[in-house]
Structure 1
């Protein structure tokens, strides 16, 4: 039996992939002769089967991790896409609900005045409205906190920065207005001096 065939047969046997009879048939050797050779070399059936199991587990784990990672990434993208919309919706609905509660409180007071009733008669109703308002505020703030609304920056709200080169005239004007140069000084000399100033890092 050639060395290459024996090495392959040994590998298959130790990994538990093929039995003696299968190997004998595959490599066209006697089962007995192969067994003697394995016994002499201390080859044990399935002794390296754990390697296959570990490799399979690692492959499955990698596939699962990759899939989960993709799913998490997609979920985050969907969340971020919707987040600004949810924040705006929460603020709008919270404002509308509080406005309704405010109108309800005003109606209770207006009805009491219209019916010439004592304001004490409105206490229970106004307390109920106040509790309702408190719940609305807490719910709105909680939702905004969960959505991390304070961390959300709208690109349209960012300040714009414009860089412009100052002309010599602009520089001289600035220095004059801040009393850094006197009226009689030579503008060319001042500009030459300013341009030669080294700026320390």
Structure 2
């Protein structure tokens, strides 16, 4: 899935690479302020290091999704290693939240037939995105915000990051972007769990 129903003025916010002790709480506060539910694609290593944040994300009603254990390029891994990356992360997240993740996103969007097969065998569906502000590259708050607004359209799945580096620019961009969407009549949804 890369997009929602384009006939409705809805958007899904997805957040990758966390949880992070500084940026995840900032993103959670913004989402709470505006009454938005999002999908957090968590890296297993980060979740193991910050299980309290995983519980907090789930406790606030957001979807918890699998983003691999160590964020490798899955295309270059043997099937057994792909299964380990996805399986270990799903086990950890289920152990922390009591619910196994039903969505998976390949790091960098680097999908392969093996990854898709393992994902399905582990009971997950794949999710891509349709709006990518490339916030991971830290291009500046204004650039991120401009890209978000330029690419946005009804049914979009928006990719942002709360981990993997300094995400202060992302948090700043979301601070203006989320109310602008609300003012434009957008509603927010999370793809069904």
TM over 0.5: no
Structure number with the bigger relative contact order (C-alpha 8 A, sep ≥ 6) is 2
Higher helix share: 1
Pick the structure with greater CA Rg.
1
Q: Which TM class, normalised by the smaller chain length? A: under 0.3
